[in-house]
């Protein structure tokens, strides 16, 4: 009887340890990045994204919930100076869709959205930040 119980005990331990994750040679690696997204990261995920950079931060348009907001134009920020399709060339006042000369304005109601104006067309751009 003792040998029967000992056999069951040893078999149970063998099965328990043999099936544990520690015996599995597969390793999972998680990469965590910090910081705001770059133009390159945004365009790798969505090559058709309409973005520009201001104050070192990327802004993106065509975000449904942002487009539904009723916002009013605030202070003038500047004009788009660079147009590029190469995401590594992005610097402040660079855009991949907006033309050079597009006016940029702050929004009175929020500090994470900017309004652009070109040929009478207004677009809302949302600030893409970590968090």
Contacting residues for 38 by C-beta, under 8 A, at least 6 apart = 58, 87, 90
The tokens 């340890």 sit on which residue? 17
For the chain, what is the domain count? 1
pLDDT tens for each residue of 36-83: 999 999 999 999 999 999 999 999 999 999 999 999 999 999 999 999
The answer to whether residue 11 is domain-embedded is: no
Residue 105, in any domain of the structure? yes
94 is a domain residue: yes
What is the pLDDT averaged over residues 78-101? 96
Confidence category of residue 130, pLDDT binned at 50, 70, 90: confident
* Domain membership flag for residue 13: no
Domain containing 45: what range?
39-128
Would the pLDDT of 32 be above 90? Answer: no
What is d(CA 102, CA 123) in angstroms, rounded to the nearest whole number? 11
Instruction: Return the pLDDT at 34.
Output: 72
Give the pLDDT of residue 48.
Answer: 95
Model pTM greater than 0.75? Answer: no
Contact 124, 61 (CB under 8 A): yes
29 within a domain of the structure (yes/no): no
74 in any annotated domain: yes
Q: Does residue 77 belong to any structural domain of this protein?
A: yes
Whether the pLDDT of residue 21 is over 60: the answer is: no
d(CA 43, CA 41): 6
Q: Is there a domain that residue 18 lies in?
A: no
> Tokens 């751009």 correspond to what residue?
125
In this structure, of 18-22, 86-90, 121-125, the range with the lowest mean pLDDT score is: 18-22
Task: Please choose, from the candidates 119, 125, 35, 26, the residue with its C-alpha nearest in 3D space to the C-alpha of residue 73.
Answer: 125
The mean pLDDT value for 91-120 works out to 97
């Amino acid at each position: 009887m003792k040998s029967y119980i000992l056999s069951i005990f040893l078999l149970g331990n063998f099965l328990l340890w043999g099936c544990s994750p520690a015996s599995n040679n597969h390793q999972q690696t998680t990469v965590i990045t910090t910081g705001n997204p770059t133009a390159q990261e945004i365009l790798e995920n969505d090559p058709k994204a309409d973005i520009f950079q201001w104050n070192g931060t990327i802004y993106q348009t065509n975000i449904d919930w942002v487009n539904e907001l009723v916002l009013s134009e605030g202070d003038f920020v500047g004009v788009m100076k660079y147009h590029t399709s190469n995401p590594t060339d992005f610097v402040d006042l660079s855009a991949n869709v907006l033309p050079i000369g597009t006016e940029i304005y702050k929004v009175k109601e929020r500090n994470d959205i900017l309004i652009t104006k070109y040929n009478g067309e207004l677009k809302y751009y949302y600030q893409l930040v970590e968090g």
